[in-house]
Structure 1
Amino acid sequence: MSNLLQTRLSELDGVLDSVQATPQVADELFAVVDLLDRQPALRRALTDPGADSGAREGLLQALFGHRLSEAATTVLRAAAGERWGTPSGLAAALERQAVRAVLSTAQQAGALDTVEDELFRFERLVAGDAGLRAAIGDRTAPLEARRRLVGDLLTGRADAATGMLAARAVGARERSFELTVAGYLTLAAALRQRALAKVVVARPLTPEQHDRLAAVLSRQLGREVSLQVVIDPEVIGGVQVTVGDEIIEGTVAGRLHDARRQLA
């Protein structure tokens, strides 16, 4: 992601943070995203760099008028006023804000920890089940049918926010279900001004090991860290930590790989 795009996304984050994030705002923004995804001509009209800003504003008014809440309208206008590089960039930016609205609402309800944990565990369940992973990722099947599958699996078993976000992630905005959920978890951590660290270990961490590792990473990064622990016997001991694009390799398998590479 370019620095310019990150700046624009951060500015739009600030717009959402300046209004009251509610489930209604999330639903409305998701509805706009779905409309944009279905209507390529509309995407182009709202992202045409040569179009007059007044014309885009008029189009927004004609399409949405008083159909959206003031908060959702504020976010939509701010997003449409930016240049996102591609027609699909506007929809992606709005979906980010819809996801943040869901997460913010969960945070206000004191349920963000639960939603984070449930999302991570469900993503791991999908990753470990080849049949389920194939069903969710099957682009030849209708998107709504795949979303209903996820909803059926989580209804009554997880927080409503978890079910909503898992279903949205089926659309694979970030190329795959796994990467899209990872993006959601990064946004959740950022809401609490935390870094998100993916930790791969051969065996489950004890509570003491978990807390010690979190403390070490927090000192290194200068802020609190949320750990997402993945069990993988192939690491052969040690721990591999990924924070953003940085990988901290401390596993026996990793050291053997480096040694073989140096000898090749």
Structure 2
Amino acid sequence: MRGLSRSSLAEVEERFNGVAGAADLGTLADELFAVADLFGREHGLRRSLSDPSVAPEQKAQAARVLFEGKVSPAAVATVESAVEAKWSRAADLPDVLERLGVVAACAEAESQNRLDDVEDELFRFGRIVAASSDLRRALTSPSLPADAKRALLAELLGDKVAPSTLRLLVQLVTHPRGRSLDSGLEEFGGLVSEQRQRLVAVVRSAIPLSEEHKQRLAAWLRASFGRDVHLNVEVDPRVLGGFSIRIGDEIIDTTITGRIEEVRRRLAG
């Protein structure tokens, strides 16, 4: 988000934090997702409620008329705050509401001591999708109705994952909003990690890492980056010796394959 939207996001998040504590967090997440999806579909509504030339109180009143009695008071208050704010572009409005839906789902998981599970389950689901072209086609097919995708996820995952994980996956699959499934999983995984104020490191290794190795690697990364780091370990037999680590745009590559590629690049240059 650009500068104006970033400052508005902070204001809306503050209002959200003030009303979310007394709410049913799972319900609040679903409601914010639903409103974000409505604004994503209804371009005219989104433009009118994000129009900076319209008085904030007028937009808030319009939001109350639309949503009061249909969603919880916490959701209404959050939407009012979002439409009162100024955004760099109209599309930031649904983006912010979806983001706060993810935050509500994370708070639900945290209240159940399952936020770590959500991080791990989103990552593992990404690996499952990567390994199954049939599953990927089913979940991303525009011809398969949203209800069918929701039912497929429930059948596959059911009580095998945290409720918040299933809630986030349903949102991603039924309302991709222009994202690929992979980028959506990465985006939501980053937001989940952000709630813990941790970085996410994707580690590729030829063999599984022992718990001792994971702890030592996490401690080294924490010392290097000055923040806690959550490890998502991906076993990849194509890795020859060592391991590679990706944190955001930064890559630390100690693999033999990586060193060979580096030599090739230097020779080509």
Normalising by structure 2, report the TM-score. 0.89
Which residue in 1 is equivalent to 2:135?
132
1:127/1:133 contact within 8 Å kept:
yes
The equivalent of 1:119 in structure 2 is: 122
Residue 192 of structure 1 corresponds to 196
Q: 1:2 to 1:203 in 2, by over 3 A?
A: farther
The residue aligned with 1:17 is 17
Kept after mapping to 1: 8 A contact 2:4/2:88: no
AA partner of residue 192 (structure 1): R
Structure 1 gaps, min length 5: none
Output the CA distance in 2 between the equivalents of 1:23 and 1:85: 29
Rounded Cα–Cα distance in structure 1 between residues aligned with 2:233 and 2:48: 44
Cα 1:236/1:83, change in 2 over 3 Å: farther
Q: Give the 3 Å change call, closer, same or farther, for CA 49–197 of structure 1 in structure 2.
A: same
The alignment yields a C-alpha RMSD, in angstroms, of 2.0
> 1:217 offset after TM fit, Å?
0.3
CA distance in 2, matches of 1:232, 1:174: 29
C-alpha contact (below 8 Å) 1:9/1:93 kept by paired residues? yes
Aligned to 1:263: 267
Aligned positions of 1:1-264 closer than 5 A:
1-2=1-2, 4-19=4-19, 20=21, 22-170=25-173, 171-173=175-177, 175-264=179-268
> Could you tell me how far 1:160 is from its partner in structure 2?
1.8
Q: For the Cα contact (< 8 Å) 2:64–2:76, is it kept in 1?
A: no
Distance 2:29 2:136 in 1: 26
TM-score (norm 1): 0.91
Instruction: Tell me, in whole angstroms, the C-alpha distance in 1 between the residues paired with 2:205 and 2:13.
Output: 34
How far, CA to CA, are the matches of 1:174 and 1:117 in structure 2?
Answer: 24
Distance 1:25 1:121, change over 3 A: same
C-alpha spacing 1:189/1:254, structure 2 compared with 1 (3 Å): same
Say whether the 8 Å CA contact 1:173–1:180 is kept in structure 2: no
1:34 counterpart SS class: helix
Aligned length: 264
Q: Which residue identity lines up with residue 16 of structure 1 in the other structure? A: F
Cα offsets for 1:200-227 (capped at 9, x unmatched): 2121111111111000000111121111
Please state how far the C-alpha of 1:2 moved relative to its aligned partner: 4.1
Matched to 1:26, the amino acid is A
